[in-house]
Amino acid sequence: MVGLGLPFFGIFRENSPKTEIPASPAWQSFIRWNTILGWVVALAALTVYVLTLEPSTSFWDTGEFIAAAYKLQVPHPPGAPLFLLLGRLFTLLSLGDVTRVAWCMNLLSALCSAGTVLFLFWSITLLGQRLPSLSFQGPSRAQRILLLASGTVGALGFAFTDSFWFSAVEAEVYAMSSFFTAIVVWAALKWQAEAPAPAANRWLLFLAYLVGLSIGVHLLNLVAIPAIALLVYLHLYSPTKKGIAFTLLIGAAIVLLVMEGMITGLPSVAGSFEVFLVNNLGLPYGSGAVLFLCLLVAGIIYGLRWAKQHQKPVLHTSLVALVLVLIGYSSYLMVPIRSGFNTPIDENNPENLLSFVSYLKREQYGSRPLLYGPQFNAQAQSYDKTGPIYAPQNGKYAVVDSKFEQVYDAQDKTLLPRLYSPEPAHLRAYQHWVNVKEGQKPTFGQNLSFLWNYQLGHMYWRYFGWNFVGREHDTQHAGVLWPWEQQHDVPAPLSTSKARNQFFLLPLLLGVFGLFFQFKRKNTDAWVVLLLFFFTGVAIVLYLNQPPVEPRERDYTFAGSYYAFSIWMGLGVLALADIVKRFIKSETATAGLATLVALSVPGILLAQGWNDHDRSGRSHALDSAKNLLSSVAPNAILFTNGDNDTFPLWYAQEVEGFRTDVRVLVLPYLNTDWYIEQLKKPMNASAPVSTTLQMAQYAFSNNNYLPYVPNPSVQDSGMDVRQYLNLLQSQHPALQVQTQDGRTLNVLPTKKLLLSVNPAEVLKNQTISPERASQVAPSMNWSLQTEALEKKHLVILDILASNNWQRPIYFSTAGSETTEMGLQPFLQLEGLALRVVPARNPDTQATAYVDRERTYLRLMQQFRFTGLQNTDHAYEENFTTQLAPMYRTAFVDLATAYLQNGQTEKARAVLQKCLADLPDQGAPHNFESASLVLPLAKAGMTKQAQQLTNLLSHRFDQQLIYYSTQPAYFDRERQLNLYGLQNLTQAAYAAGLPQAPQLERLFKKHYRLISN
C-alpha cells in the first residue's frame, strides 16, 4: 500500500473508494500515480512560492507576527499561538542570521500553502472517483488520466489564484488556516471513503484534533464544520428535508459550541472559579484554574468510563473528540505564560486568567450588530452595567471597573442591521451604495440593499472575480477585468499595473462546468461542496458585517471559498471530457484533449499572476522601518499611528536589533491602561518613559475622557501643563464636575496651555540647532484644537511635561493627534519624523520647520530605496499611495528649505536624488508629485520641471476622464487627481512654465464636470 506517512494514525491508504483496496493492477497504478502526482503538484507550487517569496517583512500584520514568533511574544488579540510556535521553529533555520529570520518564517507560509495544494489534489481525486462509472477492477486508463488531471488542474489552479498566492509568500496566518481547511476536508472525505467500517471513525477523531489545532491559528477553519456534518449525514442516512435541516443546525451548534462554549466559555467558567476561591476562600492565585481543570479532566474521564460501561459508542467517540479538540486548543497556554514574562510585545497583558478571557474575546475591538441591533442614527438611551472588571490586588481580585453596554429603544433596532456605523465618514460612504440620509432611519430594504450591493457584491463577489475572471489593477476598489474590456480605456499607470490580470473567464467557466457536472452525477457531494463554498464565503460576509470603509482589501478572508470553487474547477476536467466524447470516439484521446485544454487554466493563472506576486526583490516595509528609525535621535520617543508605521518598526527592532534605543509608542494603544503601564518599564535598550501621573490615574476608565468645561479663572489666561497634571493627580475639586448619574468626572478647564522651557538646557542637549536659538522662548504656548482630551492626549501632554526635553520626542507623521493637540507650530522635520521642539516655526504656512542638516543626512546618505530603479519591479498600492509620496514630500521640503536659504546647489542635489531614487516606473507619480515642479524650476532644472509637468498633466487628465465613468466610491480618486491638477497649475504659473494656461483650462474643465 502507498501511504502518506502521516504519524497520527499510522499509514493512510490513499484514495480508495472502498474500505478494502482492490489488488487489481488498475487500482494499484492509480493509487501510485495519485500519490506521486499529488506530491509533484505540491512541490511545483512550493517552487513557485519560494521563487516569489518575500525576503523580509511585509506591510500590515506580518512584522508583528514575525517579531512575536521570533521571541515568542503576545500579538494582537486573539493571538495565533500555534502559528507563532511553529514560526519560532522556522526562525531557527536562519542559524543566527537575523536578516534571514523573516524569509524563514515566510517559508512556513509557503510550505503550508503547498500542503493545502497537496490535500486539495487528493480531495478532488477522491470526489472525482464518485462521478464516472468505475468497475470493481478500477478505473480505465482514460479515467485514470482524467482523475489525475482533475486533481492537477484544480490544485494548481487554486495555487495560483490571486488571494491564495498573496498569502503564500508572507508570514500571515491565512496560509496555515487554509492548510487546516484543506486537511480537514480531506480527512472528512477519507472517512466517507472508508465508512461504515468502525475503523473509519479514526478520521473523525483526526479531524477533531485538527480543528483543535486550527483554533491556535485562525477561527476561519471552523466554518467548514456544517459542510462536514452534512457530508456525514448524507453518507449514513437517506436524506430528507427535516434531516438536512437538523444536520445543519447540529453543525452550526458545534461551531457555536467551539467558539463560545470552548474557546471563551471554558476560560470564563475557570475565571469564575478563580474569583470565588481567591476572594471567598482566601486561596492563592491560580487555585480556581487548577480546580476547574481537575474537575474538567475528572468529568471527561468519568464520561468516557460511563460510555464504555453502558455501550454508548457515539458518546464515547464524541468525548474522545472533545479531548482531542482540547489538546489542540492547549496551544493557547502560551499566551498567559509568555505574557507573564512581560515581553516587549505584550498586547493586552493577558498574564492572569481574567485578562486572558478578555484577550480571547477581543473585547478591546468592541462588537458589531449581526442579526438584530441598532442602526447608524440610533441614540443610546442609557448605559447598563454588564459585569465587573477584576484585577489582582493584595492577594484578591478587586473590582476596579465595570463593563457597560449601550441600551437602545426597540424602534431604533432592526433585523440584519447593515447600516450601523455612526461615524460621519462612514455615513458618506453608505451614501455611495444606498440612498440614505443623515437623521433618517434606514429601512429594512435599504439594509438589505447595502448587504447585497456592498458587502456581498463589492466585498465578496468582486474578490471572487479577481481570482477566477481577472483584476483591473491594484488600486483599492479595483474591479473585475472582464474579457471584453479594452486596455486603451484605462490610463497609465493603472493600465500598466502588474496587478492587471486577464484570465478570459477560463477559470470561472471551468469551475461552473464542474459544478453542474457534479450536481448531475453526484448531487449529494455537490451539496456538500456548495455548503462549504457558502459557509467560507457568504456566511463570513454575514458574520463580519463589514463597515463601508476598510483600510485595505479583505479578499484573503475568503480563501476557503475559493478553495471550494477550485474543487469544481478540477472536476471541470471531467465535465470537459464528457462534452468532448460526443465528438471523439477514443476515450484516451478524449481524456488527453480535455486535459490539455483544462491545463491552460492554471497556466494562464500562473503567467498572469507571476509579476504582481513576485516579491523576491521587495523590501519596502523594512526600508520604511529603518528609514523612519534612522530619522530620530538616540534614545528617542517615537509616536506612531497604526499598523503600517508600527509593525515594520517592531520587526526591525525585535528581530534585526535595529535602533532598539528608540521607544515606539502606538497612539491608539495609549487609550488603554495596559499599554500605559508597559511604557513605564524598560524595553530592550530603551529606558522607561517618565510621566507625572501614576498608574492609578490612568488605570481602567480613569481619565478616559476629559471634556472641555471652561473655567473663567483660566479659560483665557491658560494653564501650565505641569500644574494641570498635578491638580489631576491630587483629584483637585477645581477640575471636577458631577454627571447626571452622580459620577465625578475630571475636565479640561482651558484649551490654552503653556509649558515652561529652559532655553540653555534645550540648546545644550541639541534639541534644536544653534541657528534656531532665538526662536526658543521661556515658555511654549499653544491652543488645543479638540473639545476633549482622550487618554492618549493626556499621555502626550504628560510625556511632554515630564520629559523636560531630556529625550527627543517625535511623531511619525503629522496626523490627527498633532492637529488636535495644536502642536504643528512646534514640529521640526528630521528625515521622515517630526520632532517636537520648544521653538515656534516662523513660517505659519509650513507643516513643519525643516532641520536642513539632519534631514539632508538622512535622505541623502542613510535612507534606502531598494529596487525602485528596476523596471520589472512590482510596486504595491500601499507603497505608491502612502510611502512614496511621503518620501517625495520630505525631498521637496528639504529642497525648498535650501532654496529659501539661498543654497541652490544643495537643493539641486536633493531634487536629482529624488528623481533618481524614486522614478516613475518604481513609484508612479501621483497628486503629491505636483509639489516637485516649483522647486525643480527654482533650482534651475527647468527641463525636468517641464517633463514632470507634461507627465502629470496627461496622467491627471486621463485619470479624471477614467474615474468620471467609475462608481461613486472612487470619489476620493477623483478629488485627489483634481487636487493634484490644481496644485500643478499653480506650480506651473509660479514657475513661469508655458504649460500654465493650458493647465488652467484643463483644471476648469474637470472642475465643472465634477461639480455637475
CA-angle at 736, arms to 735 and 742, nearest 5°: 175
Alpha-carbon span 222 to 214, nearest angstrom: 8
Whether the Cβ atoms of residue 124 and residue 208 lie closer than 8 Å to each other: no
* DSSP-derived 3-state class of residue 190: helix
Name which of 779, 771, 853, 838 is nearest 808 in CA terms. Answer: 838
Closest CA to 683 of 345, 349, 337: 345
- Per domain, the residue ranges of the chain are 25-338+505-613, 619-859, 865-1012
CA distance 255 to 252: 5
Q: What pLDDT does 400 receive?
A: 86
pTM of the model: 0.93
Cell 535595529, located at residue: 658
Write down the pLDDT at residue 132: 84
Can you tell me the distance from the alpha carbon of 321 to that of 936, in angstroms, rounded to the nearest whole number? 70
Give the span between the Cα atoms of 829 and 484, in whole angstroms.
49
Q: Quick check: helix, strand or coil at residue 620?
A: helix
Distance of CA 353 to the CA centre of its chain: 27
Q: What is the DSSP letter of 689?
A: P
Q: Which residues contact 95 (CB under 8 A, 6 or more apart)?
A: none
3-state helix, strand, coil in the chain (%, to 5): 60, 10, 30
Per-block average pLDDT, block size 10, for the chain (1012 residues)?
A: 33 42 78 96 98 93 96 93 96 95 97 98 96 82 95 97 96 96 95 85 93 93 92 90 92 91 92 92 91 95 94 91 94 94 94 90 83 87 83 89 84 89 87 88 92 95 96 91 84 88 96 96 94 94 91 91 97 95 91 95 96 90 94 95 90 96 94 92 94 90 89 88 92 84 84 92 88 90 92 94 93 80 92 94 87 95 85 69 89 96 96 93 89 96 96 95 91 93 96 94 92 77
Q: Which of 694, 692, 687, 703 is nearest to 792 (CA)?
A: 703
Q: Give me the pLDDT at residue 650, please.
A: 96
Tell me the CB-side half-sphere exposure of residue 587, using CA atoms within 13 A: 9
User: Residue 416 in contact with residue 444, Cβ under 8 Å?
Assistant: yes
For residues 785 and 825, the answer to whether their CB atoms sit within 8 Å is no
Point out which residues pair with 810 in neighbouring strands: 638, 835
**HEC-encoded secondary structure of 988-1010:** HHHHCCCCHHHHHHHHHHHHHHH
Q: 778 with 755: CB under 8 angstroms?
A: no
- Residue 915 and residue 11: Cα distance in Å, rounded? 61
How many Å apart are CA 755 and CA 662, to the nearest integer?
Answer: 24
